[in-house]
Amino acid sequence: MSHLYRAPLYQIIISLSLLWAFPASALVKQPSPSQSVDPFWKNAVVYFMLTDRFANGDKHNDHNFNRQHDGATLRNFMGGDLKGVTQKIKSGYFHDLGVSVLWITPVNEQIHGYWDEDWGRSYPFHGYWPKDWTSVDPNFGTEAEMAEMIATAHQHGMRVLADVIINHTGPKTLSDVAWPNEWIRTQPTCSWTSYAGNVTCALADSLTDIRTESDDPVDLPAFLIEKWRTEGRLEKEQTELNAFFARTQLPRAPKNYIIKWLTDWVREYGIDGFRVDTAKHVEAQVWQTLKVEATTALNQWRTAHPERALDDKPFFMIGEVMHFGLNGFKNTPKGTRLYDYGDKQVDFYDYGFDSLINMGFATHANQPMEQIFSTYSHELTQGPLSGIGVLNYVVSHDDPEPYDPQHTTPYQTALKLMLAPGAVQIYYGDELARNLSYPDAMGDATWRSFMNWQDLAQPETQRLLQHWQKLGQFRQAHLAVGAGIHKKLSDKPYVFQRTLAEQGTHQADKVLVAIAMPKGEKTLHLNGLFPDGSEITDYYSNTRVEVHDNKVILNTPFSVVLLGVQSEND
């Protein structure tokens, strides 16, 4: 059944309003289950960082709202900010790593106080306890600094994913009042055993659940009205809300206020996509509405700023659906792309999502490379996930089972992740073997330490970073790595090829990879992939060689070979 027949009336009105507001040539296309996601997103290198834990660009914004430094281990604000991210963009750090997309944790204004949870006193350094969706938290910087970060990323050819939340607010604290009861619930706590036990419930005491199932009109919270009045923008915010609800004909329900606030950031600054937090805990139709409104907003930004737009790729939306994964991982029935709640199954790709985070990769990474690569290639090019996207990772901010947490095989870990079919997420510090074990840290705090920039003084850390950089640059130069069809050529040494047919504006692409080759001189047979006389590049050693008799001869000090035709833009 098409989206049109499944969508509520107000979503149909929104879709039709796009056609009325913009000429067909200006529309941003929305992927559907029958329309393949752009190969760029299937191959993307996404760098994910906790904003507070990455780089401190301005120490003057480290203390706000009388927040103290009395939290449990790794549960205070530590000073990372938007200015620090911008500085790293300008320094070329991400470019050298082959990063094509930046994903930062939410920078919306957070609750001002702390919350005593099971893991100790916690401040909202992580960005997932929102208080005001329309403001930037001063600990992360200013709105102008956020705008500069996005613009700088675009200038360096990188896209930006904003981490967004509709499911919950931050908790009531000694410094923060609760949202009104018509906006939120605190009971029941989620049972995880059914659809209702995941959606119409509170995830935890610290996450007061937005009543996203409701279409009942609600007033703005009194505390927010007073805050905006004090800041001198109450009339502006109310006027914009009135215009939004008049245009969309959406009910003034809590979810739709938040949709308006989130998409304003796209309309103002050209954010390229959303990473959606706690997606399975919200009715899927809400995300469909968010996608439509975000698409409208990006189109408006591009119309207003044509000189600043990277291209006309559609707005991208990726979801965090806990326990979704490839090849029958946990709540994903084998041979499907569904999420199984127990009493109901949902295909999130049918509700605006172009991609989902693959939470199975950290487990699958225990398997041999060929088993991972061949299985993933089949599922993503011929199987149930054909034409759509996933994002693989080995470590994340709230996954209790990261791959190789002690960094016993850091080079092998990088090979498995960065050469895997599908898009890949580098979690900040993966490339520097950031410590993931803090004895005094409880729960997820141990994966959220400050970026270990100091380790770059060590030669071994520099060598590991160079390994990640070579893999990232190879992937960035060749869409076939993540989006192509995989074929094993030999076991020992392990050699495989990836081929990608021409698609839209993207030319056909092909690569050949060899692992566990002898160091020094080596001969590599090419399986007819590159014609005799052609010049190809080994991206690992930065060596150009010419093909003769269906083979190349290399003399490098490395056991890894990454072959592809180098373009003029590489």
Structure-token pair, residue 10: 């107000």
**Does 320 participate in catalysis according to the annotation?**
yes
**237: phi then psi, degrees, rounded to nearest 5:** -65, -40
Residue 527 burial (C-beta neighbours within 10 Å; 0-12, 13-18, 19+) = middle
Cα–Cα dist 368/135, whole Å: 46
Q: Which residue has the tokens 């990261």?
A: 402
Cα–Cα dist 347/385, whole Å: 11
Give bridge partners of residue 319 from the DSSP assignment. Answer: 276, 356
Q: Of 474, 473, 483, which is closest to residue 507 (Cα–Cα)?
A: 483
Cα 96 from chain centroid (whole Å): 19
Cα–Cα dist 393/398, whole Å: 12
Q: Do 392 and 420 meet the contact criterion of CB atoms below 8 Å apart?
A: yes
ω into 188 cis (within 30 of 0): yes
Residue 366 burial (C-beta neighbours within 10 Å; 0-12, 13-18, 19+) = exposed
Quickly list H helices, 205-355.
222-231, 234-248, 254-269, 284-304
Q: Do 446 and 75 meet the contact criterion of CB atoms below 8 Å apart?
A: no
Q: Of 108, 420, 145, 143, which is closest to residue 277 (Cα–Cα)?
A: 108
Name the pairing type of β-strands 115-117 and 120-122: antiparallel
Cα 256 from chain centroid (whole Å): 23
Q: In whole angstroms, how large is the CA radius of gyration of the chain?
A: 24
- The one catalytic residue in 145, 277, 354, 399 is 277
Name the pairing type of β-strands 130-136 and 355-358: unpaired
- The one catalytic residue in 163, 320, 379, 399 is 320
One-letter amino acid at 118 equals D
Residue 514 burial (C-beta neighbours within 10 Å; 0-12, 13-18, 19+) = buried
Helix (H, G, I), strand (E, B) or coil at 128: coil
* Residues constituting the chain: 570
CB atoms within 10 A of CB 440: 10
Q: Which residues are catalytic?
A: 277, 320
